Chain A
Amino acid sequence: GESVGLHLPTLSVQEGDNSIINCAYSNSASDYFIWYKQESGKGPQFIIDIRSNMDKRQGQRVTVLLNKTVKHLSLQIAATQPGDSAVYFCAEKMGNSGYSTLTFGKGTMLLVSP
């Protein structure tokens, strides 16, 4: 079946650096792409999403880029902080209503050193 996958399983950065987490997807029909942060022992927490008709979206310290040509999604975190250490998942949201389901990738662990 179609899936969403990640290139790097672990990313280690220094506090203050910018972090980039990448994701490849295969389903062009997805309506939204979402980034989640999951801390140890907790459920996924929404970070930012981007609709399929957009290329870029910015939030607080985070930017998501969508390249539909190569089916690639990235999450950029500016001035990474130790509190950003977690596993990050990209997910595809199929459908534009509450009936939507999510297809997740395996995740990338971000480790931020002080």
Chain B
Amino acid sequence: DAGVTQSPTHLIKTRGQQVTLRCSPKSGHDTVSWYQQALGQGPQFIFQYYEEEERQRGNFPDRFSGHQFPNYSSELNVNALLLGDSALYLCASSWIGGLSGNTIYFGEGSWLTVV
């Protein structure tokens, strides 16, 4: 059973460009959340998708947008990249009925470097 898979694993972009990151949730999971983890910091919640709609959003600008597809996979898009967007982007999947802490699974992340 594959866990949460993310792609690409590493990428380098130039300021002002746009980037799309992808996530496939763990089998049986229907909810996808995205987190940004700057170097030396804890992950920060960006937004969450369920039933192809954004359900919750953290304190991130509109340059950050996403999408969830009928197969539950998700994309994170960032427009007009800034140097400060350089970070590890983590995808977490869960099941909407999940209660305890061990129902959330993280992928290995996508390392984004903006130059």
- B63 cross-chain contacts in A, Cβ below 8 A: none
CB distance from A101 to the nearest CB of B (A): 5
Q: In the complex the two chains form, what is the Cα distance from A33 to B97 in whole Å?
A: 18
Interface residues of A in 41-55 (CB under 8 A from B): 41-46, 48-49, 51
> Contacts A46-B102, A49-B102; is A99 near B48 (CB within 8 Å)?
yes
Contact residue among B43, B58, B96 (Cβ-Cβ distance under 8 Å from A97): B96
Query: How many of chain A's residues have a CB under 8 angstroms from any CB in B?
Result: 30
The answer to whether B45 and A98 touch across the interface, beta carbons within 8 angstroms, is no
Q: Nearest chain-B residue to A49 (Cβ)?
A: B101
Instruction: Identify the stretch in B12-20, B76-84, B104-112 within 8 Å (CB) of chain A at 4 or more residues.
Output: B104-112
The answer to whether A98 and B96 touch across the interface, beta carbons within 8 angstroms, is yes
A-B contact count (CB 8 A): 83
Q: In the complex the two chains form, what is the Cα distance from A101 to B104 in whole Å?
A: 10
The DSSP consensus for interface residues of chain A is strand
Q: Nearest chain-A residue to B31 (Cβ)?
A: A98
Contact with A along B8-33 (1 / 0, CB 8 A): 00000000000000000000001101
- A4 cross-chain contacts in B, Cβ below 8 A: 42
Q: In the complex the two chains form, what is the Cα distance from A42 to B105 in whole Å?
A: 12
Query: How many of chain B's residues have a CB under 8 angstroms from any CB in A?
Result: 35
Q: In the complex the two chains form, what is the Cα distance from A106 to B43 in whole Å?
A: 8
The answer to whether B109 and A101 touch across the interface, beta carbons within 8 angstroms, is no
Contact residue among A49, A105, A106 (Cβ-Cβ distance under 8 Å from B100): A49
Known: A44-B43, A99-B55, A106-B41. 11 other contacts (CB 8 A): A34-B102, A43-B108, A44-B90, A51-B100, A93-B104, A102-B92, A102-B104, A103-B45, A105-B42, A107-B41, A107-B42
10 A-B pairs with CB atoms under 8 Å apart are: A33-B101, A42-B108, A42-B109, A43-B108, A44-B90, A89-B43, A97-B99, A102-B43, A105-B42, A106-B42
